[in-house]
Amino acid sequence: MKRLRFVSILFCFLISSVFLAAQQRGFEEEMRFANYLIGKSLYPEAIDVLSGMDTTGMSPEQKDVFFYTMGWAAYQFKQLELAEVSLMKVSAQSEEYRKSRAFAAYTLAHRGHYTRAEAIYRTVPAQDSVEAELIRMQHAGLALLQKQYQRYDSLRKGFNYSSYLFQQEEAKLDKFYSEMLAHKNKSPFLAGLYSAVIPGAGKWYAGKKKQAIAAFLPVASLGAVAYEAYRKGGVKSARFIVFGSIFSLFYIGNIWGSALSVNVERNEFNREYENKILFNMHIPLRNLYNQ
Amino acid sequence: MKIKSFLTCIFLCAIFTTSRAQESDWLKEGDRLMQQGDYFHASVCYERVLFEGGNNAALLFNAVTGKLNCLKAEKKFAEADRFLKGILIPDFSNEQKFFLAEQRMLCAYLAGQFENCISQADLMKILFPSEYKSNLAAILRVLSYNELQQWKEAEQAWKEWAAAVDSMGLQNPYQNLPKFKSEEKAERLATFIPGAGQFYAGRPVEALIGILFQAAGVYYGVTSFLNHYYLSAWAGAGIFGSFHMGGVRRSKALVRGYNKKKMAAFNAMVRAQMTGK
């Protein structure tokens, strides 16, 4: 009887060990499979596999590995919201904590959530002076994105331009800062006014020179034809009414288009510099954390 | 003693029998999902089988063809070509490797990578000299050369195919190549004769409409000039000029479209001749 009880207990212990080992093996195999898919650039498939895993039974270390892998796969696949959520769940005990935080903050910056990005960058514990300068550079980039020029100016005083990892990008941010400062915002009202006086002049003022010529020629031609029709046939002549109407349409359109073109030019400028700043914020992150 | 041995055996069997069953389970699951049209999840199941690896070449081959069929069903031909390029499983038989090489060539053609398709076909001749009786490879070579408009090479490839099959009664389609029209000629015609470019491109109605607008511009300009409306005459000349320049550009675009249709019709004819469908 005692022997039977001992054997039963031993059997239960063995079965439990098998079960726990199977669970551990299950997690490791799934993670290996997910990494295999990531290695083949099959990011949607990797995300799908990871999404099917149950995190409730995972140990804290396993959760860190899981969320980091999920976040990185989502980041590679440009699913930035999922990347941010997953990377933010990586705990401070993980080796990938700093990298996860930095990239989570970057995804927020990419999506226009600058304040939240800044808050997260502040939580990244810099390991050395190089990393500290990188974080400062990211803050400077965010300041530039928000057009906080004074703040950028004070942050860039901490640039050493000595680390090969991001000295070029620091210099580029400075260049963008100068160019953005020098850029003068044009007034839509003035653009409209100029075009009312000389058709196309408002577009020239907005920096669209070819469009200015393209706006001037038809308005001027129609105006001349309408004037000739008025001079020779009078106000009630059919020729004057037709060409006068077409001229009026083009003239008003020219004024309206000039006012709009200022906004278009401003949006184009902002978008161009936003992309450039984000690009130059991204490269140092990859240089430092993917070594 | 007996009980101990019995329990030990159960323990060991439990560990080792689970892993072997998993790969074929994933394969079955993949087949089931593919039949339901869920190609994405089916692909994941097939990738699991490939990931587990092992020595079962038949299992791996089924996984490769399963995933390939999923990608083809989703019309992701370029991705299918990349997938097959990355398959490095030497345990496949020559027949299986030949089949995969054929599929790779087909996917390259369907993805519009005609030069890639031709180089795959040439590579097959070297890798499988004795098995190279692939009708599919010969057909795809000819069609790819057609798409690239390399007529000499296409004709040579067609003749090689015709020599390999029973070619009695088969007419050489390259003796009557489609007559393509010249974009430069259309442009020149439209420049000097209003509407002539569109007529040349085979669009008489468009040509007449273009002539009408240009004539209206000229008429308006001339009558304005005669009535001493000189600036209006200039506007009339402008109308004529705008429609004239538009007609020149339109003629080129029409000829391009015409040539594309001719090309597609010729290719369809050659394909029908070579496949018998």
Each residue's pLDDT tens digit, B239-276: 899 999 999 999 999 999 999 999 889 988 998 888 87
CB pairs under 8 A between A and B: 56
List pLDDT tens digits, range B25-62.
899 999 999 999 999 999 999 999 999 877 788 889 99
- CA nearest A110: which of A84, A140, A73? A84
- Which of B14, B51, B228 is opposite residue A33, by nearest beta carbon? B51
In whole angstroms, give the CA distance from residue A157 to residue A178: 15
Nearest chain B CA: its distance from A243 CA (Å): 9
Confidence band, pLDDT 50/70/90 cuts, at residue B132: low
| Closest Cβ opposite residue A45 in set B4, B47, B231 | B47
Q: What is the distance between the alpha carbons of residues B198 and B206, in angstroms, rounded to a whole number?
A: 7
What per-residue confidence (pLDDT) applies to A21? 61
The pLDDT assigned to B54 comes to 74
**N-term to C-term CA, chain B:** 73
pLDDT value, residue B7: 58
Rounded to whole angstroms, how far apart are CA atoms B70 and B31? 10
d(CA B106, CA A115): 52
| Rounded Cα–Cα distance for residues B119 and A157 (Å) | 57
pLDDT band of B131, cuts 50, 70, 90: low
| Helix segments in chain A, DSSP class H | 2-39, 43-51, 60-76, 80-87, 97-110, 114-122, 129-145, 149-155, 167-182, 188-197, 201-205, 209-233, 238-289
* Integer Cα distance of B194 and B217 in angstroms: 12
Cα B270 to Cα B137, B212, B261: the distances in Å are: 14, 41, 14
pLDDT digits (tens, 9 = 90+) for B81-123: 999 998 876 688 888 889 999 999 999 999 999 999 999 988 8
Whether residues B40 and A11 touch (CB distance < 8 A) is answered with: no
A261, A202 contact by CB (below 8 A): yes
Query: Would the pLDDT of B17 be above 60?
Result: no
Q: What is the pLDDT of residues A68-117, one digit of tens each?
A: 999 999 999 999 999 999 999 999 999 999 999 999 999 999 999 999 99
Residue A200 near residue A253, CB atoms below 8 Å? no
- Concatenating the DSSP letter of every residue in B9-58 gives HHHHHHHHHHHHHHHHHHHHHHHHHHHHT-HHHHHHHHHHHHHH--S-HH
Q: Name the residue of chain A whose CA is nearest to B19's CA.
A: A22
User: Which pLDDT score is estimated for A290?
Assistant: 81
Closest in A11, A37, A49 to B7, CB measured: A11
What the block records as the tokens of B39 is: 């190609």
Q: Does B209 have pLDDT greater than 70?
A: yes
Q: Do A7 and B11 touch (CB under 8 A)?
A: no
Confirm whether the ipTM is greater than 0.90.
no
Q: Which of the residues B76, B232, B234 would you substitute to probe the A interface, choosing the one with the greatest number of A C-beta atoms within 10 Å?
A: B232
Q: Which residues of A touch B7 (CB under 8 A)?
A: 7, 10-11, 14
Task: Examine the pLDDT at A289 and tell me if it is beyond 60.
Answer: yes
Partners of A224 on chain B (C-beta within 8 Å) are 231, 234
Question: In percent, how much of chain B has pLDDT > 90?
Answer: 56
Q: Average pLDDT of B217-224?
A: 92
Residues B188-201, mean pLDDT to the nearest whole number: 92
Does the pLDDT of residue B9 top 90, yes or no? no
By the CB < 8 Å criterion, does A26 face chain B?
no
Q: Which residue has the tokens 């080129």?
A: B252
